[in-house]
Amino acid sequence: MSAMKKVMAGVDIGGTNTAFGLVDSEGNVYEKNSILTKNYPDVNEFVAALSGAIKELAGTGTGYELAGIGIGAPNARYYRGTIELAPNLPWKGVVPLAEMIGRQTGVPVTITNDANAAAVGEMVFGAAREMKNFIVLTLGTGLGSGIVIDCGLVYGHTAFAGELGHTTIVHGGRECGCGKKGCLETYASASGIVRTVLYLLSEMNADSPLRNMAPSAITSKIIAEAAAGGDPVAVKAMSHTVEALGMGIINAIVFSSPEAVFLFGGLAKAGDMLFNPVREYVDENIMPVFRGTVSILPSGISEDNAATLGAAALAWNDFER
Ligand SMILES: [Zn+2]
């Protein structure tokens, strides 16, 4: 009989769904499952359900050797193993999740926010394997960022470092979910581009198929398709978004001099229509000493398992390397 395959569990906790899978040191995902986060308003019940489901996965077939668990979750605080004051999760206050799950499963548990997990995923399994300095930007409902400098993820004094989405790019600008105004993510994210379209529809007279849609039905994907078809409102929204994102990237580059910036998530699916003008914008507007030093690239990890792989990569990185 051969030895059991050694795996880490990668867990991605979102407001609606918690997805998890077993991942080996090469980044192969063997088993996966999910539970509904919102069904567990009591965190103790959530911990019991998740721990039970992970143990069940590890017992599939002839079984796996579960060596640890990595978790990506909003408002996760790496140093303390906690989730703190997460607005989109059902549990209030400070939740010592790593310790709670460790007690139930008997294996070490590490936790960080989803964008940091994506950066570790890129470093361990993705396109940044040979890189020492890079940044991952996740362009979803918000703009998350994971920053790697000299091979290490930047956590900072509080473990909340790398909130590029909440750097100010417009003084007194759009209201942000964080309570501030003019944050990068209110312009350069999947929801930011929708806000830009709604604004432009009120400013422009041009015919646009977006005009006949309910505001809540407009998505970044629909906008990207409309822009590809030449719709003037969508084209302009795309160019405003490119400028905002480009400005955010330039600020990040002059701060940490990465070799690459990876764009990931809903808005990044616009592909060349986003990447090419962002590259041009950065090249034209950045301080000359940095010109031509940074590649702006799509993620090397496929979207399907990205969050699970990122979280598992965190565990491999913390417990085995
Ligand atoms: Zn903000």
Task: Check which CATH number belongs to the domain holding 161 and give it.
Answer: 3.30.420.40
Residues 30, 95, single domain; the answer is yes
CA of residue 271 to ligand 1 center, whole Å: 26
CA of residue 115 to ligand 1 center, whole Å: 15
CA of residue 220 to ligand 1 center, whole Å: 20
In the block, tokens 């060349």 appear at 272
Task: Work out the mean pLDDT of the chain and round it to a whole number.
Answer: 95
CA of residue 158 to ligand 1 center, whole Å: 17
CA of residue 176 to ligand 1 center, whole Å: 5
CA of residue 245 to ligand 1 center, whole Å: 15
Is the pLDDT assigned to residue 195 strictly greater than 90?
yes
CA of residue 178 to ligand 1 center, whole Å: 4
Residue 125 domain-assigned (yes or no): no
Residues 97, 170, single domain; the answer is no
pLDDT digits (tens, 9 = 90+) for 200-257: 999 999 999 999 999 999 999 999 999 999 999 999 999 999 999 999 999 999 999 9
Residue 42 domain-assigned (yes or no): yes
Please state, in angstroms and rounded to a whole number, the distance separating the CA atoms of residues 207 and 10: 47
pLDDT, position 2:
62
Please state, in angstroms and rounded to a whole number, the distance separating the CA atoms of residues 180 and 4: 50
Residues 276, 137, single domain; the answer is yes
Residue-range definition of the domain harbouring residue 314 = 5-120+304-319
Neighbour tally for 266: CB within 10 Å:
19
- Count of domains observed in the chain: 2
Residue 19 domain-assigned (yes or no): yes
Residues 239, 279, single domain; the answer is yes
Residue 310 domain-assigned (yes or no): yes
**Global pTM value:** 0.90
Residues 19, 49, single domain; the answer is yes
CA of residue 189 to ligand 1 center, whole Å: 12
Residues 108, 177, single domain; the answer is no
Strand order in the sheet with 152-153: 152-153, 143-149, 134-139, 260-264, 295-298
